[in-house]
Amino acid sequence: MHNDITVPYIVRYGSEEQKQKYLPRCTTGELITAIAMTEPGAGSDLQGTNTTAVLDGDHYILNGSKTFITNGQKAGLVIVVAKTDTTAGSKGISLFLVEADLPGFSKGKNLTKLGLKAQDTSELFFQDVKVPKENLLGEEGRGFIYLMQDLPQERLSIAVGAVANARAILEATVAYTKERKAFGTTVASFQNTQFKLAELSAEIDCAEVYTDRCTELLLEDNLDTVTASKAKLLTTDLQCKVADECLQLHGGWGYMWEYPVCRAFADSRIQRIYGGTNEIMKLIISRELMK
Ligand SMILES: Cc1cc2nc3c(=O)[nH]c(=O)nc-3n(C[C@H](O)[C@H](O)[C@H](O)COP(=O)(O)OP(=O)(O)OC[C@H]3O[C@@H](n4cnc5c(N)ncnc54)[C@H](O)[C@@H]3O)c2cc1C
């Protein structure tokens, strides 16, 4: 989140002063960042954002609340998505660099999740927070465009993680089935086991090639939203399928938390939801097809 998603916003859209002020501490890890888009009433539909930032002299007055924010507890600096013009639709959305110690900014509890136990996820509240004018990130009214420009990198980052996780689960399962005995032989010796693992291995290889191609496109600055959405959709669906099939091959032990496949099963589920749900990925891809 910090390295691949939030800090790049400051690198791309930050002023020289903002970069000097924040990036050195972001690099050392003294300052952890988060990005706050989602609200209790607006997730997939970003334009439904209700958080507002109203210019008042040298400050914007920020009001609203966010939820499900990764690094919410640890973050010392949060990129907040807010409406600077509630009548302008997506053109009324702006981004702000909000320091966590500003009066009126409070954090809810660390939310209890199905998986990703090591990652903190929180609600954030803003009540008349005075955000200095110079903490506007980029230009006013261009927040939605910045988000659309940076989401492909976020989605690719999720895809890379999905492929890596899928491969790790597969490898752990190959090892487990070679050890585990049933009916006087190993679970790996059953044709069902071999065929399942072979199918998953082939699918992971194909997903990896597509993801590598997307990485090349990103490095050439040519990764478009549709291509990145396909990567996110394909790889995260696959990760969940791999986790499910591999858990099955572990039998009851696969349902036990001490086994990596059990934790991988819990951790993989969110991949189809955050970074834009996989239904939203299909929406983006189908819009392009129907053009
Ligand atoms: C662990 C975790 C970490 C997260 N980290 C962050 C973070 O750091 N920053 C942040 O801003 N957000 C974060 N999120 C929020 C995440 O991005 C949202 O949960 C996600 O975008 C979905 O929004 P929602 O939960 O409001 O679901 P909703 O938008 O209410 O969607 C509910 C269901 O309706 C479907 N749906 C919605 N619209 C359509 C449509 N047009 N067509 C078809 N189906 C549709 C969705 O696909 C979904 O299945 C995180 C969430 C979690 C759980």
CATH code, domain with 22: 2.40.110.10
- In terms of domains, do 179 and 271 share one? yes
How many A from CA of 47 to the centre of ligand 1?
13
- Taking the C-alpha atoms of residue 226 and residue 210, their distance in angstroms, rounded to an integer, is 13
Q: What was the pLDDT predicted at 260? A: 96
How many A from CA of 249 to the centre of ligand 1?
31
Residues 258, 259, 264, 266: what is their CA dihedral angle, to the nearest 10 degrees?
Answer: -50
Q: For all residues of the chain together, what is the average pLDDT?
A: 97
- In terms of domains, do 150 and 249 share one? yes
Give tens-digit pLDDT for 72-87.
999 999 999 999 999 9
Q: Among 82, 115, 140, where does a domain finish?
A: 140
- In terms of domains, do 127 and 259 share one? no
Give tens-digit pLDDT for 103-153.
999 999 999 999 999 999 999 999 999 999 999 999 999 999 999 999 999
pLDDT band at 230 (very low <50, low <70, confident <90, very high): very high
Q: What was the pLDDT predicted at 43? A: 93
Give the DSSP H/E element, type plus range, for residue 129.
Answer: strand 121-132
Residue 232 lies in domain: 145-289
Of 154, 179, 220, 245, the catalytic one is 154
Give tens-digit pLDDT for 47-74.
899 999 999 999 999 999 999 999 999 9
Q: Among 140, 159, 194, where does a domain finish?
A: 140
Q: What was the pLDDT predicted at 75? A: 98
Identify whether 123 is a catalytic site residue: no
Ligand 1 pocket list (CB less than 6 A):
34-38, 43-44, 68-70, 113, 116, 121, 270, 273-274, 276-277, 279-280, 283
pLDDT > 70: what percent of the chain? 100
Overall domain count for the chain: 2
- Taking the C-alpha atoms of residue 30 and residue 94, their distance in angstroms, rounded to an integer, is 26
Give the CATH number, domain containing residue 231: 1.20.140.10
Q: What was the pLDDT predicted at 3? A: 93
